[in-house]
Amino acid sequence: MIKPIGGFSKLSKAEKIDWVVSNYTSNPKESKKILETYWNSGIKLQQLHDEFIENTLTNLYMPLGIAPNFLINGKLYAVPMAIEESSVVAAASKAAKFWLKKGGFKAQVQGTEKVGQVHFIFKGDYEKLKQFFELVKPKLFEATASLTESMNKRGGGISKVELRNKTKELPDYYQLYCTFETKDAMGANFINSCLEQFATTLKMEALQYIPFSEKEKEIEVVMSILSNYVPNCTVRAEVSCPVEELEISSKISPALFAEKMVRAVDIAKKEPYRAVTHNKGIMNGIDAVVLATGNDFRAIEAGVHAYASKDGNYTSLTHAEVKNGIFKFWIEVPLALGTVGGLTKLHPLVKLNLEILQNPSAPELMQIMAVAGLAQNFAALSSLVTTGIQKGHMKMHLMNILNQQEATEEEKILAVEHFKNNTVSHRTVEDLLTSLRNR
């Protein structure tokens, strides 16, 4: 029986590995070998990775690919994408190439406002709290002056601090609702530091506010934290062309293709079951660039899906229409990103990927990511309304199946040739390998 362990974080890396493989794997020697295989050969580089998180054992690598030919606002990009799903980079590349000669993608940042809140409990007279807030508000800015000095010099800082009465939602619950501009930083640490100082100042000033009763002076700060919901930090990306230029396949007319694309988006707008998968496909493109540039994909995912529900129903993030003979396809999405701070200066590959993207500002990176999501969605819907998604996906998945079956290099070459004109599935690949091996 495995026993709990105390002080695990204080063990050396070797001791941690020995404990894990001895207690949780069937072949400790082989398991240890696998973990060590994925270490970086450079000691300094591996140490850098080890110190990103606690209790590091090894590195879990993810393929890093490039989707070329993205023309965005007249500028050509090759977009780094880190993802394990086989068809994503190919689909993004295909969409980029399709729109390259049609003017490319247009993108525009609509806002860069970030949000943070001080959540607190006040048991007393709301009118007195409002008067107190108006008096203490300048002191909140004064108390954070040292924190905001460098951000202010870059054109950012604290935009707004409001008192919000939330007692209809929860008894005695109020908040300081604060907005920030963090320029090229994602700004999480900056925002949270400001919020915690707001909370400290709020509590201290309340204790000295004479109109408050003793009970009212005891403001209880529950938490001070940024929000990953950023409905005013959004970007729009779009493509458009005359309907007759939508020559996707000889098997479907451009007009019918445009009609089917609009209908597919309309379904995703109305049907949540479809919308979730529809938006997941968009995030295939966005998340891959988020990871490649060292940004926080969990925060992006949470904010994006909340935004998809902002009107009360979960719906599509993309839109499509045909108007006056022009097909238009676009996306509006919230993206709180950074190109400085965090991993952007620490992780060598992240730094390289940002260089490949021509060292974009945070707003420029927002545009690139929105375009990646739009391209991914266009490619997915194009397949869905024409040949079906599995034909192309399984072709890309073929190499994964061959590797699972431990195919030789010769078998891989023969299999790729065979499946140019045949349906790929686990069964058909197994059958082919069996026939090749029995010759």
Amino acid at 368: I
Coil, strand, or helix at residue 219?
A: coil
Residues 6 or more apart from 159 whose CB is under 8 A from it? 113, 179, 180, 181
What is the spatial order of strands in the sheet that 157-165 belongs to?
A: 157-165, 173-181, 114-121, 220-227
Both tokens of 112, joined, read 């860069």
Q: Is 85 annotated as catalytic?
A: yes
Instruction: Count other Cβ atoms within 10 Å, centred on residue 243.
Output: 17
Coil, strand, or helix at residue 327?
A: strand
Instruction: Count other Cβ atoms within 10 Å, centred on residue 150.
Output: 11
Report how far apart the first and last C-alpha atoms of the chain are (Å, whole number). Answer: 49
Q: Is 280 annotated as catalytic?
A: yes
Q: Is 426 annotated as catalytic?
A: no
Question: Which string of DSSP letters, residue by residue, matches 27-66?
Answer: -HHHHHHHHHHTS-SSHHHHHHHHTTSSS--------EEE
Q: Say if residues 70 and 105 touch (Cβ distance below 8 Å).
A: yes
CA 24, 35, 84: angle at the middle one, nearest 5?
105
Query: Long-range contacts: 356-363, Cβ < 8 Å, 24+?
Result: 356/66, 356/78, 356/80, 357/77, 357/79, 357/80, 357/293, 358/75, 358/77, 361/184, 362/112, 362/183, 362/184, 362/185, 362/186, 362/337, 362/338, 363/109, 363/112, 363/235
Q: Is 31 exposed, middle or buried (0-12, 13-18, 19+ CB in 10 A)?
A: middle
Q: Is 19 exposed, middle or buried (0-12, 13-18, 19+ CB in 10 A)?
A: middle
Residue 67 CA, distance from chain mean position? 17
Q: Among residues 49, 97, 139, 280, which one is catalytic?
A: 280
Coil, strand, or helix at residue 19?
A: helix
Separation of alpha carbons 407 and 427, rounded Å: 14
User: b/e map of 298-327 (b: 16 or more CB within 10 Å)?
Assistant: ebbbebbbbbbeeeeebbbbbbbeeeeeeb
Q: Among residues 260, 278, 393, 397, which one is catalytic?
A: 393
Q: Among residues 296, 319, 347, 364, which one is catalytic?
A: 296
Q: Among residues 50, 85, 216, 332, which one is catalytic?
A: 85
- Catalytic (active-site) positions: 85, 280, 296, 393
